[in-house]
Amino acid sequence: MTDLVRVWIVPVDVPPDTAARCRDVLDDSERARAAAFLSPRDEQRFTVAHGVLRILVGRELKTRPAALTWTPGRYGKPELAPPWSWLHTSLSHSGDMIALAISTDRPVGVDVQHLVPGLDTVALSARFFPPDEAGYVAAGRDASARADRFAHLWARKEAVVKAVGGRLWPNLKIAVRSRDVVSCAAPVSLHRVADVRVPTSFRAAVALTGAAPFVMEAVGWPSAGMAPAMVS
């Protein structure tokens, strides 16, 4: 049986009743972290991201969202505490968009990137990416195309790193362009990665530990419809 990963794409600007529901399911530590943000926008982003994650995981486990607990794993990645440690989760946000992923079979990583106007993607790629990927970014026909290529590659790299729970900087040199299976540098491990369809001006990717194929179901939240895709 092919493994399944579910991905949800969530806007920061949810209806007020949804935002209130997200706030209600946070634990005390999360409420304190949310309140510490100086920007109301940052507080909203954190609240919705962590609240929606709790709501979706609670639905998967048939458990009250507020009862869930995450603890740091071997490499620092948040992992669900027993008795739910068999379920794997990942969370990312950038700009006005949030991405969440749940896998019942293998560790998962998801990343979403906002295309930032004015970012010197050529210089950043030359500094952090392998030469062929840096050349691919630099060869974009204009600044918009270069930003697209940069965000696409960055999201794939970060999804892989989030799956294993390692640090991003030692792994920016890993090759991810046009690859289904990617080798993480630190810690050394194989991951299957796939792009996720997201709104214009964003790029996203999801990765599962191991080289085996998986099925991805991607959906906007709170919409209920799923769009399955085989990743092989």
User: Is 231 or 110 the better-scoring residue by pLDDT?
Assistant: 110
Instruction: Give me the phi and psi of 135, to 5 degrees please.
Output: -65, -35
**Phi and psi, residue 194, nearest 5°:** -145, 150
User: How far from 104 is each of 24, 80, 128, CA to CA, in Å?
Assistant: 26, 12, 33
Nearest to 88 by CA among 74, 76, 96, 77: 77
Q: Residue 52: phi, psi to the nearest 5?
A: -65, -40
Q: Residues with Cβ < 8 Å from 142, sequence gap 6 or more? A: none
pLDDT digits (tens, 9 = 90+) for 35-85: 999 999 999 999 999 999 999 999 999 999 999 999 988 777 889 999 999
- The amino acid present at 4, given as its one-letter code, is L
Q: For the chain, what is the largest distance between any 2 Cα atoms, rounded to a whole number of angstroms?
A: 51
| Alpha carbon of residue 231 to chain centroid | 17
pLDDT in tens, 76-128: 788 999 999 999 999 999 999 999 999 998 999 999 999 988 899 999 999 99
In three-state secondary structure terms, 33 is helix
What pTM value is reported for the model?
0.92
